[in-house]
Amino acid sequence: MRIVIAGGHGQIALRLERLLAARGDEVAGIIRRAEQGDDLRAAGAEPVVCDLESASEDEVSAHLRGADAAIFAAGAGPGSGVTRKETVDRGAAVLFADAAARAGVRRHVVVSSMGADPEHPGDDVFDAYQRAKGEADAYVRAHQGLDWTILRPGMLTNDAGTGLIRLEAATGRGPIPRDDVAAVLAELVDTPATSGLTLELVSGSTPVSVAVKSVAGN
């Protein structure tokens, strides 16, 4: 498969790129700055420089053309304000979805946030983030041109992955290593039977492949 990842220099994305490249997929990661390219090449991915906050749908679509799947793993990140939650966490996700559909790339996986909700209350930056992610998720779910899966991990950690997870429509809150999030994404993108599902992810007792097959069967 050829897989294009938005937010290609993120902590989850770099882990995912290594996994996908190791299993023989062709991987491209969209990045904002050319100097990030060496990290992607070291992970086995092709760096594609494109700022999703300023690019046109035509530009992004051109980068997606010929891909088998697209993964949105971009985020404004900690320390960013309300404005960038809107331009990245919502705006870039909407742009990437439209560009993927335009390029004919139906398989679409989104890294969201547990608790994402367009109606999330509050005035803090995290509240704005949850609303932005919720609005982006709602947009993707309504998109007729995509076979989408939305993944909502719990609290992300840098602990070593265990490969043991809980993956369900509703898990309740809990931690999850970024290693395991990447492993789940690698399985989801290759499991189109999970299309149309919004899934929560925390650490648990079920091996990744078994958990993904289980939700795909529901």
Asked about 129 being catalytic, the answer comes back as yes
Instruction: Give one word for 217, left, alpha or beta, with left for phi > 0 and alpha for psi -120 to 50.
Output: alpha
- Of 13, 48, 111, 129, which is the active-site residue? 129
Sequence-separated (6 or more) residues with CB below 8 Å from residue 185: 12, 16, 71, 73, 109, 111, 151
Tally Cβ neighbours within 10 Å of residue 206. 16
Task: Please check whether residue 45 is in contact with residue 6, taking contact to mean a CB–CB distance below 8 angstroms.
Answer: no
In three-state form (DSSP H/G/I as H, E/B as E, the rest C), the secondary structure along 9-56 is CCHHHHHHHHHHHHCCCEEEEEECCHHHHHHHHHHCCEEEECCCCCCC
How far is Cα 56 from Cα 9, in angstroms, rounded to an integer? 20
Catalytic center residues = 129
